[in-house]
């Protein structure tokens, strides 16, 4: 069954539902997307989509532009199904274990850096649309910015749980995103509505960093933090460019994202 089934379901999600119930609800809607080969492998035209996703997550496949057409259904099944949720929970569990093992200095300079898109906030309602199809169609900057401007992205539940654990431990939270500075007000309200109510800094991409790669931009911003006295003890993102480069942090954690690649 086409992914439009998922899109139609998303349109019916009650507006009164709290943001963090979104992924919990869509888990059950994915069942019409039947695997095309054993164990959800989607083996078509010599592409095994499980293997393709593993290669993406381990950075063996880089600089890719689109999800292979043969894997569109598989990626939709994964992102809206239970496995994505479980994978994110595993990352959060390991991060929480690490955070609890630390003894913080207590001077307010121990920080945890979070990316936003597909790390703390989910753009699943956007990527499930029939004109996006989980990264199988070309990225449209205008359409995506229109979605961001709506300010309705729900949280990634596992990341929200990590965030809620870090605050009472004494960590200061820094959100570091490639979102343009002009969206500061809407991103602020979206984060708060999703449950992220407190942070030390929200760093967005300004005109001075326009045209730089994500890796260069995020390295630069983390270095500025370190030079001002902060210690990056933890860093979480969905892209390798979030967690590589200068001053990446004492420990880095990657949540899965097979829908797009940002270098």
Full set of structural domains in the chain with CATH: 1-80+123-135 (no CATH), 94-120+155-256 (3.40.50.1000)
Over its length of 263 residues, how does the chain's per-residue pLDDT go in tens digits?
334 333 333 443 333 344 444 444 443 333 333 333 333 444 445 579 999 999 999 999 999 999 998 998 999 999 999 999 999 999 999 999 999 999 999 999 999 999 999 999 999 999 888 677 888 788 888 999 999 999 999 999 999 999 999 999 999 999 999 999 999 999 999 999 999 999 999 999 999 999 999 999 999 999 999 999 999 999 999 999 999 999 999 999 999 999 999 99
Instruction: Give the pLDDT score at 46.
Output: 56
**What is the pTM for the complete model shown?**
0.84
Question: In angstroms, rounded to a whole number, what is the distance separating the alpha carbons of residues 64 and 260?
Answer: 8
Q: What is residue 132's predicted lDDT score, i.e. its pLDDT?
A: 78
């Amino acid at each position: 069954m086409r992914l439009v089934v998922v899109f139609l379901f998303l349109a019916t999600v009650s507006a009164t539902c709290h943001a963090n119930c979104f992924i919990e609800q869509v888990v059950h809607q994915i069942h019409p997307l039947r695997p095309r080969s054993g164990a959800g492998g989607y083996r078509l035209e010599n592409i095994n989509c499980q293997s393709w996703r593993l290669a993406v997550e381990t950075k063996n496949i880089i600089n890719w532009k689109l999800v292979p057409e043969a894997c569109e259904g598989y990626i939709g099944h994964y992102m809206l199904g239970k496995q994505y949720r479980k994978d994110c929970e595993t990352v959060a569990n390991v991060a929480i274990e690490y955070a609890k093992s630390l003894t913080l200095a207590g001077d307010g300079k121990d920080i945890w850096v979070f990316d936003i898109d597909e790390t703390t906030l989910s753009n699943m309602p956007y990527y499930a649309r029939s004109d996006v199809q989980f990264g199988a169609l070309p990225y449209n900057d205008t359409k995506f910015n229109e979605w961001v401007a709506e300010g309705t992205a729900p949280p990634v539940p596992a990341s929200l749980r990590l965030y809620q654990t870090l605050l009472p431990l004494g960590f200061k939270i820094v959100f570091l995103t490639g979102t343009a500075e002009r969206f500061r007000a809407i991103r602020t309200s979206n984060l708060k509505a999703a449950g992220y109510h407190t942070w030390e800094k929200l760093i967005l991409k300004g005109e001075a960093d326009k045209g730089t790669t994500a890796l260069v931009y995020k390295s630069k911003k983390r270095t500025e933090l370190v030079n001002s006295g902060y210690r990056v003890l933890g860093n979480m993102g969905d892209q390798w460019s979030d967690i590589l480069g200068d001053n990446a942090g004492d420990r880095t954690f990657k949540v899965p994202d097979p829908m797009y690649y940002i270098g």
